[in-house]
Structure 1
Amino acid sequence: MHTDTERCVRAVQSKDARFDGVFFTAVLTTGIYCRPSCPGVPPKVKNMEFHPSAASCQRAGFRACKRCRPDTTPGSPAWNARADAVARAMRLIQDGVVDREGVPGLAARLGYSTRQIERQLLAELGAGPLALARAQRAQTARLLVETTPMPMARIAFAAGFSSIRTFNDTVREVFALTPGELRARAARGPAAGPPTPGVISLRLPFRAPLAPSNLFGHLAATAVPGVEEWRDGAYRRTLSLPYGHGIVALTPKPDHIACRLSLTDPRDLTVAISRCRWMLDLDADPVAVDDRLRADPLLAPLVDKEPGRRVPRTVDAAEFAVRAVLGQQVSTAAARTHAGRLVAAHGTPIDDPEGGLTHLFPGPEALAGLDPESLALPRSRRTTLLTLVRGLADGELRLDVDSDWEKARAQLMALPGFGPWTTEVVAMRALGDPDAFLPGDLGVRRAAQNLGLPSTPAALTARAAQWRPWRAYAVQYLWATDSHPINSLPV
């Protein structure tokens, strides 16, 4: 996109927010970089330079605009719609892998040399993995400076900086303000009420439109007791994180998602935000998705009725795979009951002063050795569950944001008890494949028949070829024709 100068200029001159995060505008005369929708007067075309990432702008010596705050834009939708090495690398960087494992760790996960990864990222994003991680650390630092009373020294290390001096230099270079000046500017903004000790409040941006009904309705209706809940208009859940655990409350607002995070270790902030954005599919491009689906005259009325549907995902792929097995051939209520029992018996207890959350969902290691006779499941499903968690625990099966979608499908289909439905629902909601499709799902088939679409799996798959690469979103629109609680916000 950033190489199409004419298209970028049109987006900047029309202040088109759909392109925020897709590319960035660097202004040669001022030395700043902006989002395309910056409310300031657009610069002259000869003074514009376009970059594919904020890190690329910073690497070229530009600082972030203080007015439009380009560092707070939604992420590029490309990283969630692609499965190549660059997209997988970006998802891992957003999940904090470079900060925790370094560039060698990133390369090892992807099966490439560090030189290959650096070359590919530089060619497509104008910055290598260290620069991309540095830009993310700067944004994390800004959030902590502006939204918490934490001392600057603690913020520096929580954001992933190796020293206070590096923290100070980076903040000054990226934002043209010292950390103290950033905090002072935030204090002069609109009053937000006294901060709650230990709680970080922030806004998660998204590209409009966003339909919250199926997104939050699905999460609330399938909530595992003790791990998730809907309380006071917010979806709340516990988070297992690299350095500790957390609790997040997410509330849909007209132009953002309000996010309240309580973390046992502030170093987990970047990862927690990334996982919440992933779960809510906030970096999607709803206009591109809906335009493709609207081209089918039988889907168009569904899209026009409530555009901007997202795919409700998960914060932990392994957790969702376990839950998918527990939900095989049973009702939503029964699946919640089975998962709740598993959590109560094997999850790690936590305290929740603001609600009713009690546990972290147990990881594969905690479940690998459980007694199959303790599971109130049919014998075949016990075998499926134990085979799954043992494969995850010993590393033979990897389900993560960087997973190769087709390889993961093949591995899942090889497990006993895993058929097309379970495999595709994991690909859709755990791995984030936007083209995952469930032609055999009862709700999808019923909706297809009512709309006049083919209702047999083979015929529906053939018809759905025109919806690619967004068939997972088509599933959301088809499911929405039902009156099931997953399709509406809780009262």
Structure 2
Amino acid sequence: MLDPERCRVARLSRDARFDGRFFVGVVTTGIYCRPICPSRPPRDDNVRYFPSAVAAAQAGFRPCLRCRPDSAPESPAWHGNHTTLHRAVRLIDEGALNQASLGALCDRLGIGERYLRLLFQQHLGISPKAYALHRQCLFAKQLLHQSTLPIADIAHASGFTSLRRFNDAFRRHVGQAPRTLRRTPRAPSQDVTLMLAYRPPYAWEWLRDFLAARRIDRLEWGDEHRYGRHIQWGSASGHFTAVHVPERHGFRVTLSLDDLGALLPVVRHIRRVLDLDADTALIEAQLRQTLPDTFPLVEGLRLPGVWTPFEAGVRAVLGQQVSISAARGHVTRLVEALGEPTGDDGRQFPTAARIAASDLAFLRMPQARRDCLRGLAQAACDRRLDDDPRQWTALKGIGPWSADYAALRGTSHPDIWLGGDLGVKRALSALGTVEPAHATPWRSYLTLQLWSL
């Protein structure tokens, strides 16, 4: 439940730490805003507070054109704590309802349509299809404000199969026609540049150094302020570069894709890789109760994501019982040998099919580890890999550490405890008594804090 007094203080101070955690509906204008909106604050008796943009829209409010709620960081709290709901929301955000039916989504979730509708109504107050449509419209609004894509391309990138349907849905959800948001014409470009926001603080230096130590040449790149890589999403391929802009509490992301239909899930995935939606104030408040008072907590620490769970699993296997630099060398050789060329002297991460078909003789490691890697790839080809990498331990050679590491970095699961990790063990021996269970559901962040020691 939202605390009205706390929300009032946050909106009057325009505290960026609350950005995306709630939204402000102004009764007199019919508009809803982020708590950091630069407009003159309305009177208290003209304000209503909502836990999400979806809830504000359902109450009849339109998004503000100044603070642009479509650009706010998301708040995982309003999803509820139901595992099935989390998974359903993630699949819808990845476009599960853009082309397929609600029944097909329920088949993937292993539940009935009635139960899924009940979950959405209880936690979000909206149907699954209405949720998907609202998210599509907010993403389209962000593209209209920030990109130079033609409106027809924006409709396609937002998951609409018809320009007419896009225009109708946009008018209903945003209250304006798409063309009215394009006040000045701009030269079109297929490259998309967006600002992706987070709640401060954000420990960019820590994340940058962590990624740099494991960066694979020709697949990834970066410097003091940037991180980028080649990516694939289904049949779409491309690359992105994210530039940290601390004064705007976000990243300027430039993205190139050969199929704009994959743009929406790809942007959601970039947010996950950079862990932009973490509420670090909430997380660190719990970690401070778990760790000793003298522990040098890294404020704003984020989970360093990997593009797919499969890639994270491959990196975990190649990192078994070797140093970080040795693991990086193994992954580099794998990408050089089996990665698809990108046309700009780069490489994509190898597909499961290419790894499964190779004898991997170029990897200098025990044959058992090569067999493990090929077994993982073959399971992916056969669609035998569970969505949760923690279930991969049934595969020969995949132990708890490898499965947990793949879950932490490949799905950004917030509650992974790598208690068997050597770095974690060393940190614990220096700290004395620490009860990891007290950090639930944020044990992934506890693991990373211990790695930083």
TM-score using structure 2 length: 0.91
Distance in 2 of aligned mates of 1:360 and 1:73: 30
Post-superposition shift, 1:6?
5.4
* Residue identity opposite 1:131 in structure 2: A
Structure 2 residue identity aligned to 1:143? Q
The residue identity in structure 2 corresponding to 1:262 is S
| % same residue | 38
Q: Deviations over 1:9-39 (max 9, x none)?
A: 5544554443332333323332212223333
1:300-311 residue pairs with structure 2 within 5 A? 301-303=295-297, 306-311=298-303
Residue 32 to residue 300, structure 1, CA distance change in 2 (3 Å):
farther
In structure 2, the gaps of 5 or more residues are none
Do the aligned residues in 2 keep the contact of 1:207 with 1:283 (CA within 8 Å)? yes
Which of 269, 279, 290 is matched with 2:263 structurally? 269
Q: SS of 1:360's equivalent?
A: coil
| In 1, Cα distance between equivalents of 2:36 and 2:83 | 29
Note if contact 1:80-1:284 (Cα within 8 Å) is conserved in structure 2. Answer: no
Higher RCO (Cα < 8 Å, 6 or more apart): 1
Partner of 2:128: 129
| Residue of structure 2 equivalent to 1:341 | 333
- The verdict on how the C-alpha distance between 1:394 and 1:243 changes in structure 2, with shifts beyond 3 A counting, is closer
- After TM superposition, give the deviation of residue 309 of structure 1 in Å: 0.4
* Contact 1:24–1:50 (CA under 8 A) maintained in structure 2: yes
Q: Is the 8 A contact 1:326 1:339 kept in 2?
A: yes
Give the deviation of 1:79 after TM superposition. Answer: 7.3
In structure 2, do the counterparts of structure 1 residues 177 and 275 end up closer, same or farther at CA, with 3 Å as the change threshold? same
Query: Which residue number corresponds to residue 383 of structure 2?
Result: 395
Partner of 2:194: 202
Query: Contact conserved, 2:340 with 2:349, CA < 8 A, in 1?
Result: yes
Counterpart pick for 1:437 among 417, 426, 429: 417
Asked whether the equivalents of residues 333 and 362 of structure 2 are also in contact (C-alpha less than 8 Å), the reply is: no
2:372 is aligned to 384
Cα 1:366/1:81, change in 2 over 3 Å: farther
Alpha-carbon deviation of 1:108?
Answer: 1.9
**CA 363–437 in structure 1, closer or farther in 2 if over 3 Å, else same:** same
Q: C-alpha separation between the residues in 1 aligned to 2:322 and 2:142? A: 43
Instruction: Give the letter aligned to residue 432 of structure 2.
Output: L
Task: Look up the match of 2:25.
Answer: 26
Give the deviation of 1:64 after TM superposition: 0.4
Distance 1:300 1:363, change over 3 A: farther
1:350 aligned partner: 342
Give the alignment's TM-score, normalised by structure 1: 0.84
Q: Specify the alignment match of 1:259 in structure 2.
A: 253
Aligned positions, number = 451
Q: Name the aligned partner's letter for residue 371 of structure 2.
A: T
Equivalent residue for 1:485? none
Secondary structure of the residue aligned to 1:348 is coil
Query: Which residue of 2 is the match for residue 282 of structure 1?
Result: 276
Instruction: Tell me, yes or no, if the aligned pair for 2:78 and 2:124 is still in contact at 8 Å.
Output: no
Equivalent runs, 1:80-91 vs 2, <5 Å: 82=81, 84-91=83-90
Question: Aligned ranges for residues 92-131 of structure 1 at < 5 Å?
Answer: 92-131=91-130
1:10 to 1:119, Cα distance in 2 relative to 1, 3 A? farther
- Aligned equivalents of 1:150 and 1:426: distance in 2? 35
How far apart are residue 100 of structure 1 and its match? Answer: 3.6
Please give the alpha-carbon distance, in whole angstroms, between the structure 1 residues aligned to 2:150 and 2:71.
Answer: 22
- Taking a change above 3 Å as real, the CA distance of residues 388 and 63 of structure 1, as seen in their structure-2 partners, is same
Q: RMSD in angstroms over aligned alpha carbons?
A: 2.5
Q: CA deviation at 1:71?
A: 1.7
The amino acid of 2:441's aligned partner reads P
Q: Given residue 377 of structure 1, which amino acid in structure 2 is its aligned partner?
A: M
1:111-155 superposed Cα distances (whole Å, 9 cap, x missing partner):
112222122112211222222221222233223323343332232
Of the candidates 212, 217, 221, which is equivalent to residue 209 of structure 2?
217
Match of 1:365 in 2: 353
Deviations 1:36-89 (A, max 9, x none): 333334444444344343233333332101122112111112379956111111
1:230 to 2:202 alignment: no
| Per-residue deviation, 1:246 | 1.5
SS of the equivalent of 1:257 reads strand
Which stretch has the larger CA shift, 282-291 or 197-206?
197-206
The answer on whether the counterparts of 2:149 and 2:190 sit within 8 Å (CA) in structure 1 is no
Per-residue deviation, residues 435-489 of structure 1 (Å, max 9, x unmatched): 2111222222222333x325xxxxx5xx2222222221122222112xxxxxxxx
Amino acid at match of 1:390: Q
Bigger shift: 204-213 or 10-19?
A: 10-19
Residue 443 of structure 2 is matched in structure 1 by 471
- What amino acid is aligned across from residue 443 of structure 2 in structure 1? R
- 1:476–1:175 Cα change, 3 Å: same
Seen in structure 2, the aligned counterparts of structure 1 residues 81 and 374 have a Cα distance that, compared at 3 Å, is farther
CA displacement 1:413-438 (0-9 Å, x = unmatched): 22222223212212211232212111
Task: Tell me how far apart the structure 2 counterparts of residues 361 and 83 of structure 1 sit (CA, whole Å).
Answer: 33
Which amino acid is the alignment partner of residue 69 of structure 1? R
**2:291 and 2:118 mapped to 1: Cα distance?**
44
AA of the residue aligned to 1:398: D
SS across alignment from 1:160:
coil
1:240 counterpart = 2:227: no
Tell me the SS of whatever aligns to 2:330: helix
| Maintained 8 Å contact 1:81/1:434 | no
Structure 2 CA distance for aligned equivalents of residues 136 and 94 of structure 1: 8
Aligned equivalent of 2:432: 453
Which is worse superposed, 80-89 or 312-321? Answer: 80-89
Q: Deviations over 1:378-427 (max 9, x none)?
A: 0121222122122222122223xxx4xxxx42x32222222232122122
